[in-house]
């Protein structure tokens, strides 16, 4: 499967000015699996033409092989290779923009000293006014220690910054929330917790990101208890919300109530644990959790993490044991957050009628999507080039928008369940089909519908400082 725009190269080629040379180059690119986009002339001289050729490739190695093949062609020389992704990140993706003018002496006196002193005193007298007179009401800290960056592993805080900057852009563009990337040097849960606690006067919410298991459970759990603003680890709960929303629409297609369904969840780390807990909170019939050792069974404590022991005590009521193939037999749903290419046709065929497969490993799903669609009724992946993409960006902007709108003190499971219900309902019932169980990231109804549902639930559960929902929610 192609990586798409994520690997787009612009090749500046110096080409001998003779008929047929461009055709020779495009043939080489095609023969080596490149996908040509734009072809532009940079300059033309008597003996040579310099052209920029934009090509999509599968990965860095594919790009290097392609450039090497072009360079072996007589009369052609690649003089520069530009990577579209790296170019877009030069200088970072964020900047600070003032919301008030600063053009006159009066402007300065109002925005800064001496006028600002009156605002400081007002907040000092009543701390709740920080939500009125500062950006706290609309700000989120995006916090990471760089220990689990995307699927790349522990690359450290500097390497985490591009992801956190991207997250901040999504907050702003999709929900008009001001988000700040904060990447911490320490990967000690105690130090992360203490640092975030010291930062909270400046923010209205905390989005934890790319923190490895089991630290992510410790950090989120303790911050949830100690802070008076909402905290969410998006890798856990964002994934769970979108999975639950998509599953509700998929079950509508196959006509199965969630209380009668058994789901296999393969991968019981941060995301898998949150998905299982969300499914249980939503009233699913049963869950069979599977890790790399096989089905997780209550009582098998020696090889289980503390969180897995909790999950084991709440799942696998029939006490199945064995491997993934055993777990799949008779199951209604498979949800994979593990590794690619582990599902076989026989496994899918062993499931109950009209099976639902969510193969969410990225970039390679747990099974080839074409194969899965041949045997399963509904298939979803984590890829943008496949139908039914399960993507966290569908939920976290709206969830935090709703929480901030009512100045929520906590992020509760009820708020997340409300977000899942709202996300599922964005698609009208008569439009739900096998290839449309989850809306597009760019659907303009997603954020406001989730935000309103989350805000109302926060009010109903008594974790909102404001008891009315702003009209923008």
Residue 320 has which token pair? 């199945």
- What three-state secondary structure class fits 110? helix
Q: Which residues fall within 8 angstroms of residue 158, CB to CB, at 6 or more apart?
A: 146, 183
The catalytic position among 112, 121, 259, 293 is 112
Q: What's the residue count for the chain?
A: 473
Q: How far is CA 245 from the centre of its chain?
A: 15
> CA of 174: how far to CAs of 104, 395, 405, in Å?
33, 10, 15
436 catalytic per annotation: no
Question: What DSSP line would sit under 416-463, residue for residue?
Answer: HHHHHHHHHHTS-GGG-BTTBSS--TT-TTHHHHHHHHHHHHHHHTT-
Half-sphere exposure of 226 (CA within 13 A, CB side): 16
The catalytic position among 136, 167, 256, 410 is 167
Residue 44 has which token pair? 């033309």
Write out 46-61 in H/E/C secondary structure: CCEEEEEEEEECCCHH
> CA of 28: how far to CAs of 14, 33, 66, in Å?
15, 9, 8
Q: What's the start-to-end Cα distance of the chain, in Å?
A: 39
Strands of 178-183's sheet, edge to edge? 178-183, 139-144, 205-208, 231-233
Give, for 78, the enclosing helix (H) or strand (E): strand 76-83
293 catalytic per annotation: no
**Alpha helices (H) in 282-395, listed in sequence order:** 306-314, 324-328, 345-349, 369-375
- Give the active site residues: 112, 167
């Amino acid at each position: 499967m192609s990586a798409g725009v994520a690997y787009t190269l612009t090749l500046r080629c110096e080409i001998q000015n003779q008929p047929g040379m461009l055709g020779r180059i495009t043939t080489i690119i095609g023969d080596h699996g490149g996908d040509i986009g734009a072809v532009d002339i940079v300059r033309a001289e008597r003996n040579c033409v310099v052209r920029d050729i934009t090509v999509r490739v599968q990965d860095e190695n594919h790009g290097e092989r392609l450039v090497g093949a072009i360079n072996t062609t007589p009369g052609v020389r690649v003089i520069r290779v530009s990577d579209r992704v790296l170019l877009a990140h030069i200088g970072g993706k964020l900047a600070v923009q003032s919301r008030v003018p600063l053009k006159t002496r009066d402007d300065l006196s109002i925005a800064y000293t001496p006028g600002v002193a009156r605002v400081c005193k007002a907040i000092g007298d009543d701390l709740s006014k920080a939500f009125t007179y500062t950006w706290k009401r609309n700000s989120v800290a995006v916090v990471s220690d760089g220990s689990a960056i995307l699927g790349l592993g522990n690359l450290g805080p500097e390497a985490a910054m591009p992801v956190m900057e991207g997250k901040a852009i999504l907050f702003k563009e999709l929900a008009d929330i001001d988000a700040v990337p904060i990447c911490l040097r320490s990967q000690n849960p105690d130090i992360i917790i203490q640092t975030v606690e010291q930062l909270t006067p400046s923010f209205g919410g905390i989005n934890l990101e790319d923190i490895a298991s089991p630290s992510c459970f410790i950090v989120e759990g303790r911050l949830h208890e100690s802070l008076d603003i909402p905290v969410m680890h998006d890798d856990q709960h964002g994934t769970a919300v979108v999975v639950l929303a998509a599953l509700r629409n998929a079950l509508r297609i196959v006509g199965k109530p969630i209380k009668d369904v058994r789901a296999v969840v393969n991968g019981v780390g941060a995301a898998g644990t949150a998905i299982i807990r969300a499914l249980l909170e939503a009233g699913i019939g049963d869950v069979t959790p599977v890790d790399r050792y096989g089905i997780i069974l209550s009582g098998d404590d020696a090889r289980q993490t503390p969180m897995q022991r909790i999950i084991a005590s709440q799942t696998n009521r029939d006490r199945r044991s064995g491997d993934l193939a055993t777990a799949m037999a008779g199951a209604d749903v498979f949800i994979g957050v593990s590794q690619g290419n582990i599902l076989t046709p026989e496994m899918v065929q062993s499931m109950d009628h009209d099976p639902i497969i969510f193969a969410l490993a990225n970039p390679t799903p747990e099974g080839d999507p074409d194969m899965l669609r041949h045997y399963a009724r509904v298939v979803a992946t984590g890829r943008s080039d496949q139908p039914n993409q399960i993507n966290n960006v569908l939920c976290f902007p709206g969830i935090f928008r709703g929480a901030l709108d009512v100045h929520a003190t906590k992020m509760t499971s009820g708020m997340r369940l409300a977000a899942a219900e709202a996300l599922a309902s964005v698609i009208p019932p008569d439009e739900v089909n096998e290839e449309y169980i989850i809306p597009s990231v760019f659907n303009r109804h997603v954020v406001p519908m989730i935000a309103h549902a989350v805000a109302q639930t926060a009010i109903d559960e008594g974790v909102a400082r404001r008891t009315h929902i702003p009209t923008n929610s």
